[in-house]
Structure formats: structure tokens, C-alpha cells
Amino acid sequence: MDIIREDTIDTFVSGNKFRKLTYNLQKAKATGHTSLLTFGGAFSNHIAAVAAAGNRLRLNTIGVIRGEELAELQRNPTLKYAEEHGMQLHFVSREAYKQKEAPEFISRLKDTFGDFYLLPEGGTNDLAVKGCEEILGERTHEYDYICTSAGTGGTMAGLVRASERHQQVIGFSALKGAFQVSEIKKYTDKTNFTLLDTYCFGGYGKIDVGLVRFINDFKKQTQIPLDPIYTGKMMYGICDLAQNGFFEADSKILAIHTGGLQGIKGMNEKLSRKNIPQIE
């Protein structure tokens, strides 16, 4: 198996979030926007990436964060980073957050914050998918399987779009339920992909001792760090599938390291409260 190290692009505008932002930021600039607004949870890699990118490009950033109660609490490492990089955090209840795509909700945000370039939660839109296509290229044609983690499915949609006919794109969902299939179908008619939620460890952000051990062992053996929300679960899944004969003999497997390493610190704080060993 080979790994494309998208995690090394940048610590904060990392991996697929860099790909998803590239064309969107170009458009935001080209259309004269001075602010970006987006949505995310408290540990979101997307929130960290938007804060970092906005800071570098001198764009104001506003992060609408799920969870009203978080406003009063001490900031976790992701939100602290975002705030330190100039992101204005706007905490909303989980109920209100569900309305995030409703035009009335967006127009109320415009009343509060002025005009902004809107990036959806997780950053997935047409331009984001286009950016993710560029993860693949000439050098990846030799592979039979392309493996990625999937959250919204936007990254996977880009990979499917850029894949060759002989390639299978395997997505490892970080969440329960393979609902991303319908998202992917919005962006492509190709069907050379499979989405599995077998390795989601019970749901988004859920983790157990076995996964922590796997991530730590993997790093010891390969020097490659994995994050607990996305890439750790994907790699665990790839190894498990390989042991169970899922991949055809002598086939070439490519795994995309989509980044997300900024999330380790926040996860470790959670793990220490639960007496689970740390991610090293």
C-alpha cells in the first residue's frame, strides 16, 4: 500500500480541507468578499482550516459553532486556535444549527455579520469537489484501489470524478450510515465506488482503546501520524479488509491521508477525562 500525504500540506489548512478551500477562496477574493462564514462542530478541521486560511489571506472569518453551551466553557484547542487566528465564533444551539441551510437562517446571519462568502459545513460544494479531483493525477493511474475517509463525501466525490475506469474508490465513513452516497451522486454519474461505515467505531468522533492502540502502533511502525476522527478509522479499516481478503491479490492500494492532525490535541483532552490512553 502507498499513502498520499495530504496531511503534510500544512498543519492547519490540512489535507482535503486545503483542496476544498482553494477554488472557493479564489472565488471569494475574485468576487470582492472580505468575509468568510462557515459552520462546524467544536473539533472541526474545517473550522481550523478556514480560520488559518482567512488569516493568511486577510479575510474576516466567522465560525457558526454547534452547541450554545460551548460559549461559556473554556475553548478547546481547535476553537482556541480559530479564535487566535481572528475567527469570530458564533455559538448556536443544536436545534438552531439544524437550520443552517435555511435561507432565513442565512439572511439573519447576514443581518448580524454583514455580507459574507458562505462555505457550507465541511466545506463541500462544486468548487470543493473540483479541488479534491486534484489529489489524483497521472502518478495515481497505476493503483487499483483508492481509499479515503468520508465525512460529507465531498472529497470522495472528487476522487471518484478523477478516478480511472479500472479503479475502485473505497470510502470509509467516519459517521454511522453510508448516507454520503447520495451526496456523491450529486457530483458524478460514475459508479466505481464503495462506501463502508463498518469502521466508524459507533459514530462521528467516537473512539475506543483499540483504535488508540492502532493509531499509536501505526505511528511507531511507519512514523506516519493518523488522526482519531477520520484517517485512523480509514487505516484501521484498510488493514482489517486486507487481512480478510477484501482486496484482489496483487492489487495496488493507494490510501489518501486527508490530514486532520490538529484534532489530536482536543481528542487527547477528552481521552484523559475518560481514562483512555493518549494518542502519542
Ligand X SMILES: *Cc1c(COP(=O)(O)O)cnc(C)c1O
Backbone angles phi, psi at 156, to 5 degrees: -65, -40
Q: Which helix (H) or strand (E) holds 1?
A: none
Only one of the segments 27-35, 68-76, 240-248, 255-263 lies at the binding site for ligand X (rule: CB under 6 A); that segment is 255-263
Least spacing, CB of residue 163 vs ligand X, in Å: 15
The interface mask with ligand X, positions 124-163, x = CB under 6 A, is: x------------------------xxxxxxxx-------
Q: Pick from 81, 259, 266, 279: which binds ligand X (CB under 6 A)? A: 259
CB of 49 to ligand X, least distance (A): 8
Answer whether 53's CB lies under 8 Å from 25's CB.
yes
Least gap, CB of 112 to ligand X (angstroms): 26
Minimal distance in Å, beta carbon 245 to ligand X?
A: 26
Give me the least distance between CB of 157 and ligand X, in Å please.
8
Residue closest to ligand X (Cβ): 260
Q: Would you say 153 or 237 has its CB closer to ligand X? A: 153
Pairing between β-strand 117-118 and β-strand 145-150 as defined by DSSP bridges: unpaired
Yes or no: say if 156 and 178 are a contact pair by the CB < 8 Å rule: no
Please give the Cα distance from 71 to 264 (Å, whole number).
22
Residue 120 and residue 101: Cα distance in Å, rounded? Answer: 8
Please give the Cα distance from 228 to 210 (Å, whole number): 11
| DSSP 3-state of 112 | helix
- Distance, CA of 209 to CA of 213 (rounded, Å): 6
When the beta carbons of 78 and 149 are compared against ligand X, the nearer one is 149
Q: 47 to 106, contacts with ligand X by CB under 6 A?
A: none
Q: 4, 117, 143, 125: which is closest to 61 by C-alpha?
A: 117
x-or-dash string of contact with ligand X, 220-239, rule CB under 6 A: -------x--xx--------
Indicate whether 22 belongs to the interface with ligand X (CB under 6 A). no
* 5/27 with CB nearer ligand X: 5
Residue 145 β-bridge partners: 168, 253
Residues at the site binding ligand X, with contacts judged by CB under 6 A: 15-17, 45-46, 122, 124, 149-156, 227, 230-231, 258-260
